């Protein structure tokens, strides 16, 4: 089982700056931030390659990739539009996948996540990513609870240090909020 190791090394301010740019786009969306209000072409060349968009399906029990940015394609070359995050469970013949779990928890809570993730790819290659999971819109799940209907994902790669012992993530929400508080323009 992966771990949340929130007490790790400092995140470079330049990384938070990139993430804050996408976060501002998400914040500027109206109301419950419906996907229809997001025009990927307005993201510009600095952001578009880092952005992927998908839909939560079956009341937020799975996630379907619709638009796959080039950064996500680089870390997950098997992905194509229409692929589901649960595909990894079937392919790896397992009951748990870190990325799938993080996606679904974002959709259920309808709160953004700011993360640093270390994981082994489907090809068993160590990967390191900074990620923003930004929920969009609303739908009702099987229990009548409101959950997100879509999600925008911002992804920035980095080279992981040392051998990968297990998939893990670090919640950077507090550090990101502190960074934004020190900057008036973010």
For residue 73, the tally of other CB atoms under 10 A from its CB is 15
Report how far residue 107's alpha carbon sits from residue 55's, in angstroms, rounded to the nearest whole number.
Answer: 10
Token representation of residue 13: 């301010």
pLDDT at 185: 60
- Any domain includes 3: no
- Any domain includes 142: yes
Q: Quick: pLDDT tens for 113-169.
A: 999 999 887 777 889 999 999 999 999 999 999 999 999 999 999 988 777 778 999
Q: Which domain, by its residues, includes 122?
A: 11-182
- Any domain includes 29: yes
pLDDT at 2: 43
- Any domain includes 4: no
Between strands 150-158 and 146-147, the pairing is unpaired
- CA-based diameter of the chain, in Å? 47
- Any domain includes 147: yes
Tell me the whole-structure pTM to 2 decimals: 0.90
- Any domain includes 171: yes
What residues does 114 pair with on adjacent strands? 132
pLDDT beyond 90 at 47: yes
Report how far residue 17's alpha carbon sits from residue 47's, in angstroms, rounded to the nearest whole number.
Answer: 12
- Any domain includes 64: yes
Number of folded domains in the chain?
Answer: 1
* Dihedral angle computed from the Cα positions of residues 110, 164, 129 and 84, in that order, rounded to the nearest 10 degrees: -50
**CATH number of the domain residue 133 falls in:** 3.30.450
37: left (phi over 0), alpha (psi -120 to 50) or beta: alpha
- Scan for tokens 């578009």, then name that residue: 48
pLDDT at 148: 98
- Any domain includes 5: no
Mean confidence (pLDDT) of the chain? 90
């Amino acid at each position: 089982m992966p771990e949340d190791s929130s007490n790790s090394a400092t995140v470079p301010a330049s990384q938070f700056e990139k993430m804050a740019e996408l976060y501002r786009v998400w914040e500027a969306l109206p109301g419950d931030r419906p996907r229809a209000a997001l025009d990927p072409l307005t993201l510009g060349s600095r952001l578009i390659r880092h952005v992927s968009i998908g839909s939560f399906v079956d009341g937020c029990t799975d996630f379907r990739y619709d638009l796959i940015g080039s950064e996500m394609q680089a870390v997950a070359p098997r992905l194509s539009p229409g692929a589901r995050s649960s595909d990894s469970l079937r392919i790896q013949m397992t009951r748990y996948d870190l990325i799938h779990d993080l996606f679904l928890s974002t959709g259920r809570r309808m709160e953004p996540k700011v993360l640093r993730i270390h994981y082994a790819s489907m090809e068993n290659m160590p990967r390191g990513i900074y990620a923003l999971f930004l929920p969009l819109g609303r739908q009702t799940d099987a229990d009548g609870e409101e959950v997100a209907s879509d999600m925008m994902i911002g992804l920035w790669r980095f080279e992981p240090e040392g051998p990968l012992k297990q998939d893990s993530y670090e919640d950077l929400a507090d550090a990101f909020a502190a960074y934004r508080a020190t900057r008036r323009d973010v």
